Amino acid sequence: MLIGLDLDGVVCDLGPGVAARIADRYGVASHPDTWRTYDLRELELGVPQAPFKAFLDGVFADPALYEAAVVADGAVAGVERLLDAGWRLVGITARPAYLAEITTAWLTAHGLALEAVHHTTVGAKAAVAERLGVAATVEDNPREADQLAKVCESWLIDRPYNRDYPLERARRLRSWDDAVGRLCQLRLFA
């Protein structure tokens, strides 16, 4: 039985790195907990919109952002507990393929024992999940989570920036602890 884990926003927290770069570039202190939009290009920071979008594209293309990223709260223990319960874990990420090496090195360095990472694009994760035959996925992108719900049990982990999006099919998890509780239960009755 396989679980597909999204990386950014689920096991990896890019928020502090992005906030630091915004502060450096614009002198604006913006805490990730205050972000209320999944697409950060829609953040209202009082800075010119077009250059801000180009700036963010650059931030997210920079391998250093991913190399120095912190682990999401609860993810290390959560991954361990899912493995202990007998799940197999893979990453399903929209990170581009050129980040593959950095990604596996980061996972290893943080003790996150995923057996593989599948790189795809935004909006294409459901096809990957279906091909792999995953039983469940954990995402932080509400639209992607709803698409994934068509092919497996799809969970959206609650984040400040996805809280205001209504879900059609996917279900919301409060935290990694909640994820472990529900997914271990699912495994028990599989």
Number of residues that bind Mg ion (CB under 5 A): 4
Tokens of 110: 């943080």
CB atoms within 10 A of CB 138: 29
- Which residues 113-152 are close enough to bind Mg ion by CB under 5 A? 140
Nearer to Mg ion by Cβ, of 4 and 9: the residue is 9
13 binds Mg ion (CB under 5 A): no
How far, rounded to the nearest angstrom, does the alpha carbon of residue 95 sit from its chain's CA centroid?
Answer: 10
Contacts with 78 (C-beta within 8 Å, 6 or more apart), sequence order: 176, 177, 179, 180
Nearer to Mg ion by Cβ, of 9 and 17: the residue is 9
Which of 3, 5, 8, 129 contacts Mg ion by CB under 5 A? 8
Nearer to Mg ion by Cβ, of 9 and 81: the residue is 9
Tokens of 63: 């391998």
Residue showing the smallest CB distance to Mg ion in the complex? 9
Nearest distance from C-beta of residue 38 to Mg ion, angstroms: 9
Which of 4, 5, 6, 138 contacts Mg ion by CB under 5 A? 6
9 binds Mg ion (CB under 5 A): yes
Strand pairing report for 12-13 and 70-71 = antiparallel
CA distances from 183 to 42, 78, 82, 161 (A): 33, 10, 8, 23
Nearest distance from C-beta of residue 93 to Mg ion, angstroms: 7
Catalog residues that contact Mg ion under the rule CB under 5 A.
6, 8-9, 140
